């Protein structure tokens, strides 16, 4: 089981680094959702199911919805230049 935990931590680190280099902001939000889901799996692995459920509900689901709505309602630089 130590290998699984090590893989999850390395995956979370890799996705976190990938967020830095992603050009599209929507892809960055999706990758941050992946980090939150992996964190909730790690919390579940260390026998903390209440924190895992909270991380999955708030960190992954609610935060992603709020960010996607904010991105949808924000004008991009290209569309504001054309007007």
- Which pLDDT belongs to residue 57? 94
Assess if residue 81 is contained within a domain: no
What φ, ψ does residue 46 adopt, rounded to 5°? -90, 20
Assess if residue 53 is contained within a domain: yes
Assess if residue 52 is contained within a domain: yes
- Which pTM does this prediction carry? 0.83
Assess if residue 80 is contained within a domain: no
- What range does the domain containing 18 cover? 2-73
Assess if residue 6 is contained within a domain: yes
Assess if residue 83 is contained within a domain: no
Assess if residue 56 is contained within a domain: yes
Assess if residue 78 is contained within a domain: no
Count of domains in the chain? 1
Kindly tell me the burial class for residue 40, based on how many C-beta atoms sit within 10 Å of its own C-beta (0-12, 13-18, 19 or more): buried
Residues 6+ apart with CB under 8 A from 29: 64, 67, 68, 71
pLDDT digits (tens, 9 = 90+) for 17-53: 999 999 999 999 999 999 999 999 999 999 999 999 9
């Amino acid at each position: 089981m130590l290998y699984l935990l090590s893989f999850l931590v390395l995956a979370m680190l890799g996705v976190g680094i990938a967020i830095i280099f992603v050009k599209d902001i929507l892809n960055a939000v999706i990758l941050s959702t992946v980090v939150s889901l992996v964190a909730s799996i790690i919390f579940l692995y260390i026998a903390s199911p209440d924190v895992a459920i909270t991380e999955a509900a708030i960190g992954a689901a609610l935060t992603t919805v709020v960010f996607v709505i904010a991105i949808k309602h924000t004008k991009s630089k290209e569309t504001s230049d054309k007007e």
